[in-house]
Amino acid sequence: MVMYWGQNSYGEVGSQLNLASYCQDSTNDIIVLAFLSVFFDSSSGLPDVNFAGSCGGSYFEGTNLLQCPQIAEDIVTCQNNGKKIFLSLGGATGSYGFESDSQAETFAATLWDLFGGGWSNTRPFGDAVVDGFDLDIEGGSSTGYSAFVTALRSYYADYTDKDMYISGAPQCPMPDAFLNDAMVNSYFDFYFVQFFNNYCGMDQWSDTETTNFNFDAWDSFAKTVSYNTDVRVYLGVAASSTAAGTGYVTIDTLNEAAAQLMSTYSSFGGIMMCFAYTYSGTHLRRTITFPEMV
């Protein structure tokens, strides 16, 4: 189970609990922090992060880069509870992208020092080290992302403290406008495919007629075209009716779909939910009842 966190998607003050609260839920395996929304801030050249109201820290001097001590503490708590914490780059809004492979490779080094196993005096999460990076690229161009992933992998290879991962969150229409080249030419561990806000979304699924729903195409892509032919494909869904414009389905429909997809497609990796939220102080859980996956 993968959950995106950080953007207070329910739209009410306090509708998102702190990160550590979601790590108490045994059903969550990966929590993705959303988003690093600016790659190169005009004031400092460093990236910017935006976690809605969930980072109340100050900015590093001379930058627009937030210090997030509570998130840093929560990352360690989550990791001690066996959860993986990824940082997502991009999102539906923001200022991001590369002009060249060289710029992308340099940015990989910057991220490694700011959030990974490197060193910098401007680390938003202090000594906490994320477990991976996620590419949710929904604008700009496809330039540089393959080089970026490959460069990050080179840092991973020399890092012995723990395993590190890279995921992508493409839209369900194929080929993805921004990540297709990177997925074909560089190594991803997971695809968190967004089956919402698109004509091929979960609202098109049924157990007897797939219509525009295209998990079958993603399964084929993963096993025959993707650079990593063992990559896992996740069913990305909206966690509530307010978390997406279209594509939301009830938990009963999601249970039925997940069981059918897991039994049919060997690339099926699990469920991705966007976003975590609460209502009236009560954490709304989504319980998936299909058999445990390897």
Low-confidence spans in the chain with pLDDT less than 70: 9-15, 207-210, 276-294
Which of the following is catalytic: 73, 99, 138, 256? 138
Give the whole-angstrom CA distance, residue 106 versus residue 147: 10
Q: What is the pLDDT of residue 7?
A: 84
Q: 107 in the Ramachandran plot: left (φ > 0), alpha (ψ -120 to 50) or beta? A: alpha
Residue 240: per-residue pLDDT: 81
Residues pairing with 268 in the sheet = 233
The two beta strands, 165-168 and 190-194, are: parallel
pLDDT given for residue 12 in this prediction: 61
Q: In the chain, helix, strand, coil percent, each to 5?
A: 25, 20, 55
* Beta-strand pair 278-279/268-274: unpaired
Of 179, 182, 162, the C-alpha closest to 170 is: 179
Maximal C-alpha separation, the chain: 58
Q: What is the pLDDT of residue 280?
A: 33
Q: What is the pLDDT of residue 294?
A: 35
Looking at residue 83, its pLDDT comes to 98
Residue 151 CA to residue 107 CA, distance in Å, equals 9
Interatomic CA distance for residues 262 and 4, integer angstroms? 22
209 flagged as catalytic: no
Q: What is the pLDDT of residue 286?
A: 44
Q: What is the pLDDT of residue 174?
A: 97
What integer pLDDT is reported at residue 291 of this predicted model? 45
Q: Are 34 and 51 in contact (CB under 8 A)?
A: yes
What pLDDT, on the 0 to 100 scale, is given for residue 109? 98
pLDDT of residue 23: 93
Convert 72-120 into a string of H (helix), E (strand) and C (coil): HHHHHHHHHCCCEEEEEEEECCCECCCCCHHHHHHHHHHHHHHHCCCCC
Give me the pLDDT at residue 13, please: 61
